[in-house]
Structure 1
């Protein structure tokens, strides 16, 4: 026999950080389309935030998460996704972002 939960499961969410306005429009269009396909299943909060340039991930992404997103969605357990142009990192000898540092900052 399954035990009944006294509290509802935590709400889940996804934060998608993007480099620019084009990516923001793109991801918002995908999200809108998916929600229109299945309007009854809206169980995940999805937030798309533009950090305005790949070099801003280190400072803006953690700050936007802590100061704008988490206070607006209390109790939501977010998964964070950082979208960027991969070619920028593939050929650049000194990449503009240290992703391990960004990840550490977001998790703190």
Structure 2
């Protein structure tokens, strides 16, 4: 179970917070999209995503060569509320990240149906 202390500790790093909020906004992002949005290297992004996965905040799935990350749907409701409120109040903080993500060419295609 994710405690408030564990949540805030996992988000204490700016890269992890930015990645998490982008995932909350987009629903799901792959490592390459986060690399582009955050303007960081693959090893750095992967290391931070692994930490968020270990604490239970994110889940990953592999589709071909892509690894996608999303919020864990089993999280307590309060976690989703905190993240959504933080995202809504801080869109300006993510504006450069959002612009880089929007300008990314050849984003991986997601299936249109399940």
Q: Same fold (TM over 0.5)?
A: no
Of Structure 1 and Structure 2, which has the larger fraction of its residues in helix?
Answer: 2
The interval holding the TM-score normalised by the smaller chain is under 0.3
- Structure number with greater CO (CA < 8 Å, separation at least 6) is 1
Larger Rg: 1
